[in-house]
Amino acid sequence: MISYQESRLMPISLALPAKDRPVHAAIVAQDLVKTYKGGVRALDGLSLSIEPGTIFGLLGPNGAGKSTTVKILTTLTRQTSGAAYVIGFDVARQPERVRHAIGCVAQGSSLDPELTGRENLTLQGQLHGVNRGELRRRVSELLDRFGLDTAANRLVRTYSGGMQRKLDVALGLVHRPQVLFLDEPTTGLDPEARAEMWAQISRLVAEDGVTILLTTHYLEEADKLAKRLAIVDRGRIVIEGSPEELKAGLRGDTIQMELEAPANQELVQGALNAVEGLREITVEGKVVRARADRGAAAAPAALARLEAGDVRVASVTIARPSLDDVYLRCAGRVFIEADKENAA
Amino acid sequence: MTMLEQSWHLTLRNLRFLLRQPWYIGVTLVQPVIWLVLFGALFKNITQIPGFTSPSYIDYLTPGVVIMSALFSSGWLGMGFIEAMDRGVINRFLTSPTSRGALIVGSLAYGGIVTAVQSLIIVGVGVASGARYSSLAGVALLLLVTILISTAFGSFSNAVALLLRKQESLIGAVNFLVLPLAFLSSIFMQQSLMPRWIQVVATYNPVNWAVAAGRAALASGANWHLVAEDSAYLLLLAVVCAWLSTRAFRSYQRSL
């Protein structure tokens, strides 16, 4: 008789009692709360559900709760309340099961610098109990796939940042996990290395059917890779959907104006409120943002109004909706500003 | 079986690190030799104190230096965990099916191997300097008790590393303990010749159990009862310390 928990072919949801079955989802989080000593509330009721074989992007500024979510889902730390399941296993009650099924690529590198690339990979496979012959093949395959074959026998401390990051991802894959966690996989990489990493990540889903939870604070990364994404702010998800859905929720174009000097907020608001078709006007220091169905038509009128109010405009840009705008609208603040605020 | 296999792979990982730091191996081996030569010369005349039973001080000192060196090298075992924590390697292990026990055993087994090699070299230098011991079995028993005390102290070091997670804290804790533990034992001076209060403290000092048992095992006409009793206490201590250090992972994970 085959134990259903050990067979990969059986529906994952059977591993749980009927009432808890998170049907057909690779990862489920229900109302996760995490508070740290001193009362810091890192997660404040975060819920999500991820379809198998897809990339799910968790997006947000530093300190929003992305990494805490990953730490709970990868069994590194426990939630204060709420529940989470990875391929049907409860992360708090069945952490061993979860650990066998997942690969984790943490934020920042997690390699042994005094071991070679091959030794790092081999040890990771051995700890996962991959048998010897299979492991040797798998290690060579991964080194090849990530373009590290020629550097395989060099100590990792001689690797560039991009090479180390690729090796990190390879380590997460050595035991052929069903679910892969990528915590800011491209932070600190140069554009070329980032593009290469994106190609590898897309390939994992397309060819290996891996489910990926990707956290990032690059909006364009989530836009490019994720089938669905959620924006996290202050420990909860403020909006979730496909990148297209989220952008479609924003009608029209964004008009951004940079003023020559910070201006009185009410004065600017007052002047722009009178422009027809202009809405969602925000003023932050020298930056004024607004939306309009036809940006090119609304911009000259807005400029004229501001000039009339003696507010000098240094530059104007009109753009199609981006995830930046989604973030601004959902979290009520500009992404970069939130990043700075949390870092402070 | 899995846990033993994981422990073995982690032991090899630690040994690889050591072999790639030849200067560290050099220091680890040269330092005890310096102690042996230095203390051997400095305290040479102790043998003339009435009531000192050993005819040669180098005979007396060698097992003491073996154990003191084991304390130092096992005291730094926790450094491996601190480095691995700082580099995110521990978190990678903890999110894989690696057992916490295997992480501790991998560190202690590595420490044990280093201690055994270091101890044999010190005994060799002692013999070359004129120490005479009756049997190889005695040397083997000295190795055993040395490994037991270094397992206990290495576990303490690992626990401190996991609880405090700072190199400075570990350096402080080890330096604070090693020399007092050494001087409050019969490493340098026969217990019956110590001031009364130190005699009492030494009786409860695990380092003294190891030194007394190791020295008794080397002596001709050894007191096997003492060797067996002290070894049993040391074994118990080592197991308890190792278990407690495994528990220290909880504290570490709560901090994440």
B127-152 in b/e burial notation, b at 16+ Cβ within 10 A? eebebebeeeebbebbbbbbbbbbbb
Share of chain B above pLDDT 70, in %: 100
pLDDT digits (tens, 9 = 90+) for B88-130: 999 999 999 999 999 999 999 999 999 999 999 999 999 999 9
**A:278-337 residues touching chain B, CB 8 A cutoff:** none
Share of chain A above pLDDT 70, in %: 89
- The reported pLDDT for the residue numbered A7 is 36
* A254 close contact with B: CB closer than 8 A: no
* A180 close contact with B: CB closer than 8 A: no
pLDDT digits (tens, 9 = 90+) for A1-17: 333 333 333 344 444 44
Chain-chain contact of B95 with A155 (C-beta, under 8 angstroms): no
* A154 close contact with B: CB closer than 8 A: no
Answer whether residue A333 shows pLDDT above 70: no
- The reported pLDDT for the residue numbered B183 is 95
Answer whether residue A18 shows pLDDT above 60: no
Work out the minimum CA distance from A296 to partner chain B, whole angstroms.
Answer: 50
3-state helix, strand, coil in chain B (%, to 5): 80, 0, 20
**DSSP string of B70-109?**
HHHHHHTHHHHHHHHHHTTHHHHHHTTT--HHHHHHHHHH
Answer whether residue A338 shows pLDDT above 80: no
pLDDT digits (tens, 9 = 90+) for B191-237: 999 999 999 999 999 999 999 999 999 987 778 899 999 999 999 99
- Residue B10 structure tokens: 């982690």
Chain-chain contact of B92 with A128 (C-beta, under 8 angstroms): no
Answer whether residue A335 shows pLDDT above 80: no
Alpha helices for B130-166 (secondary structure H): 136-164
Chain-chain contact of B256 with A123 (C-beta, under 8 angstroms): no
Answer whether residue B1 shows pLDDT above 70: no
Sorted by where each begins, the domain ranges of chain A are 4-245, 251-320
Dist CA B79 CA B72 (whole Å): 12
Task: Give the distance, in angstroms, between the CA of residue A36 and the centroid of all CA atoms in the same chain.
Answer: 22
The winner for highest mean pLDDT among A255-259, B58-62, B250-254 is: B58-62
Dist CA A198 CA B165 (whole Å): 35
Which ipTM did the prediction report? 0.92
Helix (H, G, I), strand (E, B) or coil at A275: coil
Q: Out of B21, B88, B97, whose CB is closest to A100?
A: B97
State mean pLDDT over A309-324.
Answer: 84
Dist CA B130 CA B57 (whole Å): 10
- The reported pLDDT for the residue numbered B142 is 96
pLDDT band per the 50, 70, 90 thresholds, residue A280? confident
pLDDT band per the 50, 70, 90 thresholds, residue A118? very high
pLDDT band per the 50, 70, 90 thresholds, residue B254? confident
Work out the minimum CA distance from A111 to partner chain B, whole angstroms.
Answer: 6
Work out the minimum CA distance from A300 to partner chain B, whole angstroms.
Answer: 53
Answer whether residue A210 shows pLDDT above 80: yes
- The reported pLDDT for the residue numbered B244 is 94
**Long-range contacts made by residues A86-94, C-beta under 8 angstroms, separation at least 24?**
A86/A26, A86/A27, A86/A179, A87/A12, A87/A15, A87/A26, A87/A27, A87/A178, A87/A179, A88/A12, A88/A13, A88/A14, A88/A15, A88/A16, A88/A21, A88/A22, A89/A15, A89/A16, A90/A16, A90/A20
Hey, how many other C-beta atoms are within 10 angstroms of the C-beta on A157?
11
**By mean pLDDT, which of A125-129, A312-316, B95-99 is the weakest?**
A312-316
Chain-chain contact of A99 with B20 (C-beta, under 8 angstroms): no
* Fold designation for A251-320: Alpha-Beta Plaits (3.30.70)
**DSSP string of A50-113?**
E-TTSEEEEE--TTSSHHHHHHHHTTSS--SEEEEEETTEETTT-HHHHHHHEEEE-SS----T
pLDDT digits (tens, 9 = 90+) for B126-183: 999 999 887 899 999 999 999 999 999 999 999 999 999 999 999 999 999 999 999 9
- The reported pLDDT for the residue numbered A6 is 37
Q: Out of A77, A113, A127, whose CB is closest to B96?
A: A127
Strand partners, A179: A102, A211
Chain-chain contact of B88 with A110 (C-beta, under 8 angstroms): yes
Give A180 or A285, the one with higher predicted confidence. A180
Residues in chain B: 256
Chain-chain contact of A108 with B5 (C-beta, under 8 angstroms): no
**By mean pLDDT, which of A183-192, B63-72, B101-110 is the weakest?**
A183-192
State mean pLDDT over A186-192.
Answer: 89
Q: Does the model's pTM come out above 0.95?
A: no
Chain-chain contact of A76 with B95 (C-beta, under 8 angstroms): yes
- Which CATH superfamily is A4-245 part of? P-loop containing nucleotide triphosphate hydrolases (3.40.50.300)
Dist CA B213 CA B227 (whole Å): 5
Q: Residue written as tokens 């422990």?
A: B7
Instruction: Give the CA-trace dihedral at A272, A278, A279, A282, to 10 degrees.
Output: -40
Q: Out of B2, B5, B95, whose CB is closest to A75?
A: B95
Answer whether residue A246 shows pLDDT above 70: yes
* B6 close contact with A: CB closer than 8 A: yes
**By mean pLDDT, which of A125-134, A310-319, B107-116 is the weakest?**
A310-319
Q: Out of A77, A99, A113, whose CB is closest to B97?
A: A99
Q: Residue written as tokens 């609880």?
A: B163
* B98 close contact with A: CB closer than 8 A: yes
Dist CA A177 CA A184 (whole Å): 19
- The residues, ordered by sequence, that sit 6+ positions from A267 with a Cβ below 8 Å of its Cβ are A309, A311
What mean pLDDT value characterizes chain A? 87
Give, in order, the Cα–Cα distances in Å from A292 to each of A254, A273, A304, A309, A322: 7, 12, 16, 21, 14
Work out the minimum CA distance from A135 to partner chain B, whole angstroms.
Answer: 14
Helix (H, G, I), strand (E, B) or coil at A48: strand
Give A33 or A216, the one with higher predicted confidence. A33
State mean pLDDT over A293-314.
Answer: 88
* B86 close contact with A: CB closer than 8 A: no
Dist CA B61 CA B189 (whole Å): 9
Q: Are the C-beta atoms of B213 and B226 separated by less than 8 Å? A: yes
- The reported pLDDT for the residue numbered A248 is 76
Single-letter residue type at A103? G
**By mean pLDDT, which of A29-38, A58-67, A246-255, B227-236 is the weakest?**
A246-255
Dist CA A330 CA A273 (whole Å): 21
Work out the minimum CA distance from A92 to partner chain B, whole angstroms.
Answer: 13
State mean pLDDT over A227-250.
Answer: 88
Alpha helices for A241-310 (secondary structure H): 243-248, 265-273, 295-308
Strand partners, A48: A29
